[in-house]
Structure 1
C-alpha cells in the first residue's frame, strides 16, 4: 500500500481539522476567491479550505489520497448544500484524469507537501493550473520554533528512520527548494513568492485535549507513540509534547489558541 495513503488513512484528520476551521476561512478570504472561479484544493482533508471557497461561489474540487477524508468532505459538502463542491481520491504527484489548464487557483495547505516525489507534485500543480492562474501552498518550515514544526520534529525523533530515498515533507518549507521545484516545472523564479504566515489552532478546551486529539488521530504522532511504546519511551514523548502544547498556547489554561508559522508560497503560472 502507498505509505502516504496509509499514513493519512490511519488516523482521522477531521478531528485535527476542527481546530483549523477559522484560519482556513481567513486564508480563503485573503486569496480573493470569487464566484465562478475554478478551484482545486489538493491534499484537501475534509474541506477546511475547500468549503469556504465553495461558499464564496467557486467551483471547487477537493482531492485527497485518504479515502476516509474524501468521504468526510463529501458529507460536509452535502450537509452544507454546496452543489459546486465535490471531493475525490487522488495523488498529488499524479493527477491523472484532471485536464491541463483546468483551474484558476490550485491551493494546497499542509497537504501536497506530504506527498512523495516533490518535483512531480510541482509539475502536476503547474500542469492543471491555467495560464495566469495561481498556485498557493502552505508548508510547515523545518526547524521553526512554533508548534507543528516542533511536533513533527519531536515525532520524528521517536520514529524509526525513513526508507532510503525518503524526502522530508518539511523540505517544502525551504524557499530554495520551492523555487527549484517550480523552476523544473517551467515557472520562472520571478513568478514565485514566499512569505511567512501564521495559522492558528483554536478549540474551547485546554491544550492537553488538543494534544490528545493529535495522539489519537494524527498519523505522524500516532506512529511516534506506537514506536515509543515499543521502546519504553511513550511517557517521555508525551511529556515533551505536553510541554510544547502548553508553552505555545496563548489563550490561558482553559482553552486553546496556538499559532504556528508556515511558508506561504504563491506561484503565478506563465
Structure 2
C-alpha cells in the first residue's frame, strides 16, 4: 500500500527524511509517487528532480530517468554529474548516438565525476554501436590498475568471438575483484561458447546459490502455491544478481544436453524472479 503524505502540511525536512527512508528500503515506487506530486507543486524542484531521476533509474525506468536528468542538465548546465546520468540513461535505452552526444558536452577533467567514469561510459556506448576499435581505444585509456579495464577488454574480445582470450580476462577480473554476479556470468558464458558445459554450470550454480541466499525477497526456489508473492519488478537489484541471465544460460545448456525437463524447470525459475 502506498503511503500518501499531504504536501501542504509537512515540513521539507520531514518529507526529505521520509523519501530517503523509502529509498533506503528500496521502496522506489512510493518515493516516485510522492516526488512526482512535489515536482508538480514546486515546479523544477532540483531536489525532487534529482531524486526522481535516481528512483526511476533504480527501477530501470530509463525513459523517465532520462527525462529527469535532461531537465536537470538544462536547468544546471554546469553540473557534469547530471549530464553523466542523463547519458547513462540514454545508453540504457540504446539511444547510443544521443548518449554519446551528451558525453561530448562533459569536461573530462571535471572534478564532479569520478575519474575514468566518462571514458568508461563512452567505451560502452561504442561497444553498443559495435565500434570495437573505438571501444578498445577508450578502454586502453583507463588506468592500468583499474579492474574495469581488464573486464571491458574481455567484453571486446568476447564480441570478436575470441572466447579463450576473453575468458582469461574475466577470470583475472574475478581474481582482482572477488565474486561479482555479472563477472561470473561472463565466465560461464565463455565456457558455454567453448562447449565446456560442466564448468559453465559451476559458475551458474554459484550465481543462483548466492542470489537465493543474499536476496530472499526475490523468492527464488520458493514454493508459492497458495501464497501471494509480490513481484519485485525489473529492478537494479534483480539486474545485479544476474539471476535471469543465469537461468537462461542454464536452460540453454540443459537443452544442448537434451535434458528437456531441466531446461523447462530453469525457464520456469526465470518467471519466478520477475
TM-score over 0.5 (shorter chain): no
Higher helix share: 2
Structure label with greater radius of gyration: 2
Report the TM-score when normalising by structure 2: 0.28
Question: Greater RCO between the two (CA within 8 Å, min separation 6)?
Answer: 1
